[in-house]
Structure 1
Amino acid sequence: MIKVLVIDDDFMVAKVHAGFVNKEPGFTVVGVAHSASDAVKAATALSPDLALLDIHLPDMNGLELLQRLREVQPELDVIVISAAREMDTVRKALRGGIVHYLMKPFSWDDLRERLKHYAKTYQPLHVLRDKELEQADVNLLFGMGSQSRRPLPKGCSAETMSLVESIVRQTPEPISATETAEKLGTSRVSARRYLEYLAEENLAQVNLRYGGVGRPERRYSWNG
């Protein structure tokens, strides 16, 4: 569960934002702060993973608070939610290492999109902090996940590719094209096309199993 701290000086706005967050699966609001001083105390006591930060606070500018929060919670990620539209403010926020900048007013779908992006890209890096990353992992973090892959081979669908990825990811041992085809309910030749694509994109590793007569069997494991 991703723990979220909501920071906004407007009590009603903070309540609405907290309600939005709690509606998104995998997220929970652990605290709400209406001033910079309260935010620092909450970040220290609650160790949130993510903060929704307003720029305009009564006792400190949100950009200054961003640095203060990092001092007490170095791995805290931040999404700025603010009515501030000045280029200088946005630039400073980006240089401060925020995850997203969302301008008020916004819809639930706007916030949900950013929360889902955070859960998909940034949060796994905390879990895998002691693991060496592949280029694909880094591309995803910098928003290049969709551009980092070649188009799918002719006749292949994105839906089936997603299923194949899921099968390879969730199978503890290297899996063959025949076994993958059985899970998909498709032909071995079709399954192998998807598996080979993943291997060519360095998303899957090919393992050769020797034994019997003929060429070794190609088996695939997730490269992660």
Structure 2
Amino acid sequence: MMNVVIAEDDFRVSSIHEAYVEEMEGFDVTAKALNGKELRASLEQNTVDLILLDIYFPDERGTSLMMHIRNQYPDIDIIVISASDRRDDLLIAKRYGVYDFLVKPVTKNRFQTALRQYKEHRSWFSQSSTFSESDAKRFLTHTGHAFSEEVLPTGIDSITLNKVAGALSRASDGLTIEETCRKEGVSRTTARRYLEHLVASGKAKTQLSYGVIGRPERKYVLTS
């Protein structure tokens, strides 16, 4: 269970966001704060995994709170939810490692997608101690293939989809279904389902590879 603090100066908005969080499995609202002072106290009194942070408070700006959080609580993650559209706020958020920046008004779908993506990424980091270059691009530069923002069909989850796409990105000549099975440790049925989804969504294409003998193999290649 991930403990969430909602730092929002409008109690009505805070209550709406609390309801959104409570609908999601794996999250619990540990505390709510209406200003910077209350947020600082909440962090001292509770074990916190994630802060949903506004920028505008009556006593201090959320950007100064980011500095405090990062210096005193480096393991706590931050998602900003604010009406601010100032580029300097976005730049500060980026420099302090903010996970996501949601601009108000925020729809329920956008809100819950951000939390779902955050949960999936935390799960990914707990699965293995190693990573590939495509993983680094996806998490640090946002230029890799990340699919958590998609509305995915039943039977397709973003973590496995990113793994399969990452395997394709490392294979310059593409991969067959069997090669994908070996590299990612998934069944043939699973490999086919995810590869075909990538093709259907326009993110991959198929091509035939002709060997010396036997029938040509169907290979999957990421589109540029």
Q: Secondary structure at the match of 1:30?
A: strand
Aligned residues: 165
Aligned to 1:58: 58
Distance 1:147 1:63 in 2: 27
Displacement of 1:194 after TM fit?
3.0
Displacement of 1:136 after TM fit?
4.9
Distance 1:74 1:66 in 2: 10
Q: Secondary structure at the match of 1:79?
A: strand
State TM-score, norm by structure 2. 0.64
Distance 1:71 1:102 in 2: 23
Aligned to 1:194: 177
Displacement of 1:159 after TM fit?
7.9
Indicate which of 128, 131, 137 corresponds to 2:129: 131
Give the root-mean-square deviation of aligned CA atoms.
3.0
Distance 1:135 1:3 in 2: 31
Aligned to 1:27: 27
Displacement of 1:72 after TM fit?
2.7
Aligned to 1:42: 42
The question of whether the paired residues in 1 share the 8 Å contact of 2:70 and 2:96 is answered with: no
Displacement of 1:123 after TM fit?
4.8
Displacement of 1:62 after TM fit?
0.2
- AA partner of residue 61 (structure 1): R
Unaligned runs of 5+ in 2: 148-152, 162-175, 187-224
Q: Secondary structure at the match of 2:45?
A: helix
Aligned to 1:146: 145
Cα distance 1:136–1:159, how it changes in 2: closer, same or farther (>3 A)? farther
Pair 1:86-2:86 in alignment: yes
Aligned to 2:184: 203
The question of whether the paired residues in 2 share the 8 Å contact of 1:43 and 1:72 is answered with: no
Distance 2:53 2:156 in 1: 37
Residues 85-94 or 133-142, more deviating:
133-142
Superposed counterparts of 1:7-22, under 5 Å: 7-22=7-22
Q: Percent identity?
A: 26
